[in-house]
Amino acid sequence: MHFLVALCLKVCYIIKTITTQLTHEGNMQNTNNTKIKTVTNFNSAENSVQLHIDLADKNYSVNGHAVESITMYADTDCYGDLAVNWKYEESDNDGYVESTMLLMRNKNSDDDVTETMGQFYWENCFSTQLAHILSDAGFSKEAIEDVFTSEWGMQDEGRASYDANCIAEEMLTAHNLQLADA
């Protein structure tokens, strides 16, 4: 009989623990959705969400170039890449040698813009800061771990491109939307 009482108490304890954990996770998701909503804009006409995190006053830089913002577009049909936007001047392209064989930027050029693009892409110089910024904006650890630089051809002057599908999904979820294929 004591065994059955002890078993019942243990089962009740486990159920209470699970319920508490689920409630905590639900509250955390609501908190995260609220935080995500502060850095996104919902467009009801297009069922789209635009991420915009202004970094102009945060003093982030890569290779001497100020990082200005993080942006991304997502809607119920598709989503784009996550962009880290950085300031450059056309004179930073001085010395750029166009590749005659490639449609994308010549990664072997030693001009300032190509070197900065390489710092983002090859050296991951902003990855740690990006993870912290996204975490502060309410995105989950799992979504942040899924962020990777896009292929070299997606990098551009003043714009580092990242694949961030899970970030897009969390943006949509925060606004009660989901990708049509999901």
Predicted local distance difference test score (pLDDT) of residue 117: 86
Q: How confident is the model at residue 165 (pLDDT cuts 50, 70, 90)?
A: very high
Predicted local distance difference test score (pLDDT) of residue 25: 44
Range of the domain at 132: 39-89+105-174
Strands 148-149 vs 159-163: parallel, antiparallel or unpaired: antiparallel
Which residues make beta-bridge pairs with 143? none
DSSP E strands in the chain: the ranges are: 40-43, 48-54, 61-62, 65-75, 82-86, 148-149, 159-163
CB 93 within 8 A of CB 157: yes
* DSSP 8-state code for residue 123: S
> Would you say residue 120 lies in a domain?
yes
Identify the residue with better confidence: 12 or 32: 32
Q: What is the mean pLDDT of residues 86-91?
A: 81
For all residues of the chain together, what is the average pLDDT? 81
Q: Into how many domains does the chain fold?
A: 1
> Would you say residue 62 lies in a domain?
yes
CB 70 within 8 A of CB 130: yes
